[in-house]
């Protein structure tokens, strides 16, 4: 074999190796993305009707009623997420002021409701000042796992 033929063969082997490495990395990366995007859930071992548990142990509330948009005093509460991780339940939501006047800082009472509408517990978060049309985040947390809830209500404290 001539030197030029050897160089071509070595070059082709290197290119083939690079392609194989790229394909391998892409396939592993795609699998990881699918696990994150798909949620990779496990069966709920304690028979909780309104939660799904992710591989990392995070529980997510899946109740349609709880996740429906709520209104309170001219505020629209949407994009609701209720999760539990390491003994801490967290309710996150967007709060939009649909009034034509500024909403002043206020402490509210959120009642977490069970299967039959009974109050499991309540949380008393602060909703900050919100200008008309503005959206802020609501972040309310409570120690303990109360994510297996059907719904929640919000009222003045």
Look up residue 109 and give its two tokens: 């009472």
Domain layout of the chain by residue ranges: 3-38, 51-156
Q: For residue 28, give the H/E element and its range.
A: helix 3-38
pLDDT at 34: 45
User: Cβ contacts of residue 86 below 8 Å, gap of 6+?
Assistant: 57
pLDDT at 28: 65
pLDDT at 17: 76
pLDDT at 122: 93
Cα 52 to Cα 47: distance, rounded to the nearest angstrom: 10
- Beta-sheet strands, E only, within 101-149: 106-113, 119-123, 126-127, 135-143
Q: Kindly calculate the radius of gyration of the chain based on its CA atoms and give it in whole angstroms.
A: 25
> Do 137 and 105 form a contact (C-beta atoms < 8 A)?
no
Burial category of 73 from C-beta neighbours within 10 Å (exposed 0-12, middle 13-18, buried 19 and up) = middle
pLDDT at 114: 93
The fold adopted by the segment(s) 51-156 is Immunoglobulin-like (2.60.40)
3-class secondary-structure state, position 136: strand
Least Cα distance to 128 among 139, 142, 141 occurs for 139
DSSP code of 115?
T
pLDDT digits (tens), the chain, 157 positions:
677 777 778 877 887 778 887 776 766 655 444 444 444 444 444 568 899 999 999 999 999 999 999 999 999 999 999 999 999 999 999 999 999 999 999 999 999 999 999 999 999 999 999 999 999 999 999 999 999 999 999 999 8
pLDDT at 3: 75
Cα 140 to Cα 93: distance, rounded to the nearest angstrom: 9
């Amino acid at each position: 074999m001539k030197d030029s033929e050897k160089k071509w063969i070595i070059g082709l082997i290197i290119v083939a190796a690079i392609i194989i490495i790229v394909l391998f990395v892409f396939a592993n990366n795609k699998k990881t993305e699918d696990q994150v995007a798909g949620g990779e859930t496990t069966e709920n071992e304690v028979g909780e009707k309104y939660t799904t548990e992710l591989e990392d142990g995070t529980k997510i509330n899946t109740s349609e009623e709880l996740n429906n948009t709520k209104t309170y005093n001219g505020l629209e509460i949407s994009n609701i997420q209720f999760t539990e991780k390491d003994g801490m339940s967290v309710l996150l939501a967007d709060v939009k002021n649909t009034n034509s006047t500024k909403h002043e800082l206020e402490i509210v009472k959120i009642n977490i409701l069970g299967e039959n509408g009974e109050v499991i517990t309540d949380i008393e978060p602060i909703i900050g000042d919100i200008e008309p049309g503005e959206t802020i985040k609501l972040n309310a947390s409570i120690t303990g796992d109360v994510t297996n809830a059907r719904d929640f209500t919000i009222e003045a404290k």
